[in-house]
Structure formats: C-alpha cells, structure tokens
Amino acid sequence: MEGPSFHTFEFDKTKGQHILKNPMIVKAIIDKSAIRSTDIVLEIGPGTGNLTMSLLEKAKKVIAIELDPRMVAEITKRVRASPYNKNFEVICGDVLHTELPFFDICVSNVPYQISSPLVFKLLTHRPLFRCAVLMFQREFAMRLVARPGSELYCRLSCNTQLLARVDHLLKVSKNNFRPPPKVESSVVRIEPRNPVPEMNFTEWDGFVRICFMRKNKTLGAIFKQKSVIEMLEKNYVLLREANGEGPDMEEFKVKLGRIIQDFALNELRGNKMDLDDILNAIAVFNRHGIHFA
C-alpha cells in the first residue's frame, strides 16, 4: 500500500512526517470512522496517501490539506493513477492558516506538533461536522480523554470536553510508522456537542487557566494569590466603570474570599472539578460581577 516512490522519499521529521505503513491499522481507523458513501472527508497531513486511498474507497470526496509541496506532488500522482481522481482535492498550505472547507468527517494522522491548535480549530469550525477520528501522540490523546481526578486531567481535558465528547479508540505502536516516531500513538474520536454549549469560551478558559495554575491546590488557596486577586480586581473595576457604577464599598479581596466561602468553593480543586463544577463556579462569580476575561 506504499506510494510509488516511498522507499526513496526523504521525510522531514520536523514537519511531523511519520507515514503510517501498516494496512491493518489503516483498516481499523477506516472501520471506526464509519464513513458514509455521501460523506466529504477532510484529511490533514495525508503524506504519501496510504490512509487517503482507503478513504477514497468509502467517501463521496476526500479533501486533503498538506504543507509539503513534495507530498502534494506525490499524493496527486498516486490518486491520478487510481479510479478516484475526480473524488479528490488537495490544498497545499498550513492547515492552521487555511480556511477549512465544508466537510462531514475528519480522518487524519495528525502531525503531532500542531495537535492542540488543530483540535480547537476543528471545534470552532462551522458548520459543525459529525465527528473527527484523529491519531495523536499517546500522552496528548490520553489528556484529551482524561477524567476529573486522574493524573492527566488538565486544562486541555476541560476545554475539549466542554465542546465535544472524546473517546479513545485504539493504541498504535511506533513500529507502524516510517520513520518511527520516538513516542507511541493513539487514535481518538471527537464528536462536537450539538447544540454548541451556550458559554462564553474566553470566560471559561480564563477560569480554567486559574484553576490549573496549581491544579492540586484548592480554589481557596489559589484565589488568595496576589497575581490572581489583582487580575480579577482589575476586571471587576473596569466592568463597574463600563456599567456606570461607582466604587464598591467592600474591599475586593474580602469580597472574593466571602464569595468563595459562602458558596463552598474553597475546597474545590482543579484536578477534581468536572464540567458542571466549573460551570457552577463561573456562574457564581459572574453573578457577583467577577469575570475572568
């Protein structure tokens, strides 16, 4: 299943060019993607086209985005020699700086260095797509699916799970790639929440960022830090001024501490807070004029 010039092609590891060579892994990814014959599939970083050719057998159309012009030439030549040429389009460019086309599903072996920004580019894409089946570095994948209380639960976990359901599908050994990467990989399924949560994401991320500054510490301890108090007080004062309100008679630090105590937020810890805990805490602070963005 390798491309015509696979053995002589020099791959650039700095661009994350690790080509999936095992046809059984390709088949497993295709099977778990549940591609429909009417689907337009987006593939990011198609490389020499091992996954692409299998996608073309299932989908109505495949649109690939590839950074390396050499790879674009390679995959174009490979598809042109197949029966699927009219069902394929390749865009040469950096996916992070490319306007994404309409697609139903995204299936990709993702260049690992763009994992995080790519996830959020996909999740903010409109209209919503059905799902994405993506290969990532194992640790990154496990952070995406981590649950509250687990060692890997982090800001990435919270932010992704607010916007999507994420499931781990399969582990992939580094020996399935050429050249082999230094790390193991995993495939995950990301399904955007529909409807999209009614939430100011910048506000959400601002709060989560504070909680995970020291994710094992309680909110009571984190919100006593001088830098946190100063940042929140600045937001508080600016918002009051924008609303034409005068200075608050209660010292901000005292107000903040009272809210945390009165609403039993002081013993919460970032690494144990689920989505509802975070949403409830933000709502409490917002009701009292405290904002995180």
Binding residues for S-adenosyl-L-methionine: 18, 20, 45, 66, 94, 109
**Closest listed residue to residue 143, CA positions, set 157, 133, 159, 161:** 157
Nearest alpha carbon to residue 209 among 222, 193, 221, 192? 222
- Cα-Cα-Cα-Cα torsion 241, 244, 250, 255, nearest 10 degrees, comes to -70
C-alpha 43/C-alpha 52 separation (Å) is 7
**CA–CA separation, 194 and 129 (whole Å):** 10
Binding residues: 18, 20, 45, 66, 94, 109
Please tell me the distance from the alpha carbon of residue 129 to that of residue 123, in angstroms, as a whole number: 9
Q: Closest Cα to residue 13, out of 113, 119, 159, 158?
A: 113
CA distance 20 to 67: 17
Q: How many CB atoms lie within 10 A of CB 90?
A: 20
Report DSSP state, residue 250: S
Strands 164-172 and 185-192, by their bridges, are antiparallel
Residue 291 and residue 232: Cα distance in Å, rounded?
7
